[in-house]
Amino acid sequence: MSLKTAEDMRWHDTERLGEDDKKILRHPSDALAWKTFDERHRDFALDPRSVRLGLASDGFNPYRLMNTTYSTWPVMLIPYNLPPWLCMKPSSFILSTLIPGKPSPGNDIDVYLQPLVHELKLLWTGVEAFDAFEGKKFNLRAALLWTINDFPGYAMLSGLSTKGYNECPICIDSTPSDRFGNKICYCSYRKWLPSDHPYRIQGEKFCEKYGTNERGKAPSRPSGTDILSEQEKVEYVYGKSKAPQKKRQRGDNDNNDVQHESAFGTKRSIFFDLVYWEHNLLRHNLDVMHIEKNVSKNILGTLLSMDKSRDSRDDRKALEKWRIKPHLWLSTNPNGSEYMPPASYSMSTEEKERFLNVLQKLKVPDGYGSNLSSCVNMKQKKLINLKSHDNHVLMQDILPVALRASNSTKLIDLLAGLSSFFKRLCSTTIDPDDLDDLQDGIILTLCKLEIEFPPSFFTIMVHLLIHLVEEVKLGGPVRYRWMYPIERYLSHLKSYVTNKAQPEGSIAEGFLLEETIRFCSRYLEGVKTIFNIPTRMDDEISNSNDYLFNTGGRVVGKEVTIRLDDKSLKQAHRYVLLHSDAIKGDMDEFLMEKPQMNSQSSATESDESNWIINEFGGWLQNKVHCIDATTEDEKLRKSLAGGLYCYGRKLKGFIINGFKFLSMDRDCRLLTQNYGIMVEADGEAYFGKVMDIYELNYYRAYKVVLFRCNWVDIHRGVRTYPNGDVCVNFSKLMHTGRLLQDDPFIFSSQAKQVFYIEDEIQIGWLHVVKNKPRDLFDLGDSLPVEVEGEAILDTFKLDWSKKCWRKASSELDDYAVGNSAKFYPFYQGITTS
């Protein structure tokens, strides 16, 4: 048990923002399910140390590819009291149960969960524990908020059916479903539209049998009490599912086994044994990771007519049976053979080629994702071996841009709408006021997809999109409730399996060993352990205070000493002067005096710019000459007046703001693209390429890191599409540095990263994709906690810098900073004993 962890466990209560900022969803504690829970159980909520837990479970095959039927099910608990940067880290997970294979436990998982549920019941009333932070004993309580699971896991944990016509566990018996050919499809998104929406009476366009109009209402989410009362009627005998089943006869209806279970599932979920469970607003999470992956597979399969295509000959025949979309029915050639008429989403061979070409040439920033070009199979015109995360980056950013860059389908805007839905849904901070807008948007997008695609496209995964916004409202940002961290952890557990005869034993032993090592590391300070290796984008440096404007970061690659030419020196110096608050008063005074000295009545902008470049330095030097630089401010003014030293360092690469930037000459030889840069100033976005990175200094007193960039002319070189996507052309530049008044430089700390995707048709134009920093958490404006190294942010005139970013340490590199014992779950002894 450690002091630091005990303190962190109160984070959700103590280190939160002012009332204004509290509205924004940043952590599960900001969302409705948590707040309602607190209101209902006031005595529990009174103590911030009461632990809120999430339960995650998923099966995996510890033999990797050696034995395809084996499935081990670990059950993990996630303590949500911890701050965002610790909460979803493997070091915070508690491996509470390990259910051995060979078959997956299925609905019998409840039998294995009994000890855990028993402990949860104990923890609800409370057990005695010692609070190391306060140094007192207290009654520790804990409650389970929800479970995290993939779709098959949803059925096992909730007892609801995720098969057949009632597959949606939220709509349950009102799931809009129908048999289409030999598939079940889930359409009727018009039910969610307002009752007077024109789409409702345009039946012939949509995927409704015989083109009927829609008068139905959207089903609502059933309460826990409703589900419990239905599930209590079901009699389920544990262990029965393992009995050998009667061999299915040919011609039997597929859904025979579905029909003898109630619409509300197969069993009463064991979690209803917890007294509070029935009233939890969000009991089981729909996993956005798997939904996104399946939707992406659906789209790519259908567009590129791959194996996962939802548009086959049988589907076209079924369309004719349903009497909808006659333009897609199978037609006959003059020679008597049947063919599928092209649909709006079909791509011709050249279009496929162009689209795949874009993906093959794609270079993304370091750490953004895997190399997608290796998934392109040009010969078969296919994408192969796409992993979950590849589908994630495709859906979030790349798919719409790649489609636009290759101009290969008519549905670009529609698919871009779907992509922006995923992007907004998965963002780390969400304004709840935007959520209704997001929900309306996805309803409309789904309706439009229904107009274009056949019913077979609408699998259950597409249907689930309609429920995701509501789950964000209830549970907060998606990143605390999806399977990515869990899946990563499972693959880590897999690495423990050294004895193939006893995989579970190996995992348990490996987990205990790592826990022990981690525990010891908490008390080692100043020692380099395997845990405190800096993260990939770590930009912490010890002397960050020497750098003006927070421009300090980690240097990557070679550095050489150079002498900067006079013009560049003046431009760089002017840029620093214009952004420096310390001499703002002096500059105002100078600009007031100057016209009088020249006996001018007024001054133009270019006059002022010239004066600042040529005369302000000297004027300031005279003024500050006699001050003796006792305060930090005076020291800074004196240094700035001295001007930039002409020798500096030229760097190849630089890590700052969670991004890695490399200069053009270094980057063009790599498989990644790290030179794309964007700054926002005066409400305008400027796009460029990093040409050189300089570290300059003010006579060794202060340092400043500047990027010299090629900037695209915002008038001639930028095109913006109606949905906000941007396209730029680097043959049209501005601020090239040729003129003295040009501004080719920016501070490293102002830089945001973008990457460019070449257009296949309009040569020279590049499509812009914005990159997000890794491991940074936006905690709003009014941080009550002191965060190192962000005091100078306010000196920027740029809008974005008002955002207060807090660096997330990699899970264990805090040891390097000297905080011992930060991550040890302080109730460890109770839940694993």
Residues binding Zn ion (CB under 5 A)? 168, 170-171
Least Å distance, CB 144 to Zn ion, is: 24
Maximum pairwise Cα distance, the chain: 104
Tell me the H-state helices in 398-502.
399-406, 412-425, 432-452, 460-475, 484-494
Nearest CA to 302 out of 376, 382, 422 is that of 382
Closest CB to Zn ion among 168 and 640?
A: 168
Closest CB to Zn ion among 443 and 712?
A: 443
Closest CB to Zn ion among 205 and 221?
A: 221
Closest CB to Zn ion among 89 and 290?
A: 290
Task: Label the pairing between strands 51-57 and 142-148.
Answer: parallel
CA distances from 438 to 80, 435, 468 (A): 26, 5, 10
Torsion of CA 351, 355, 356, 357, to 10 degrees: 100
Least Å distance, CB 222 to Zn ion, is: 11
Distance of alpha carbon 295 from alpha carbon 386, whole angstroms:
13
Structure tokens at 164: 């057949």
Least Å distance, CB 170 to Zn ion, is: 5
Least Å distance, CB 449 to Zn ion, is: 16
Closest CB to Zn ion among 258 and 629?
A: 258
Closest CB to Zn ion among 148 and 468?
A: 468
Least Å distance, CB 175 to Zn ion, is: 6
Closest CB to Zn ion among 191 and 594?
A: 191
Least Å distance, CB 169 to Zn ion, is: 8
Least Å distance, CB 171 to Zn ion, is: 3
Least Å distance, CB 186 to Zn ion, is: 8
Question: Reduced to 3 states, what is the DSSP secondary structure of residue 430?
Answer: strand
DSSP bridge partners of 7? none
Task: Give CA angle at 136 (130, 141), nearest 5°.
Answer: 50
- If you write DSSP's letter for every residue of 689-708 in order, what string do you get? EEEEEEEEEETTTEEEEEEE
Nearest CA to 308 out of 183, 415, 407, 408 is that of 183
Closest CB to Zn ion among 171 and 624?
A: 171
Closest CB to Zn ion among 467 and 623?
A: 467
**423 close to 396: Cβ distance less than 8 angstroms:** yes
Neighbours of 532 (CB within 10 A): 18
Closest CB to Zn ion among 262 and 795?
A: 262
Tokens 């698919």 sit on residue: 415
Tokens 């995927």 sit on residue: 207
Least Å distance, CB 216 to Zn ion, is: 13
Least Å distance, CB 422 to Zn ion, is: 18
Instruction: Give every CB contact of residue 556 below 8 A, 6+ residues apart in sequence.
Output: 651, 652, 653, 654, 655, 660, 662
Least Å distance, CB 761 to Zn ion, is: 40
Work out whether the CA dihedral 9, 513, 537, 790 comes out positive or negative: positive
Closest CB to Zn ion among 458 and 661?
A: 458
DSSP bridge partners of 136? 131
Distance of alpha carbon 584 from alpha carbon 592, whole angstroms:
12
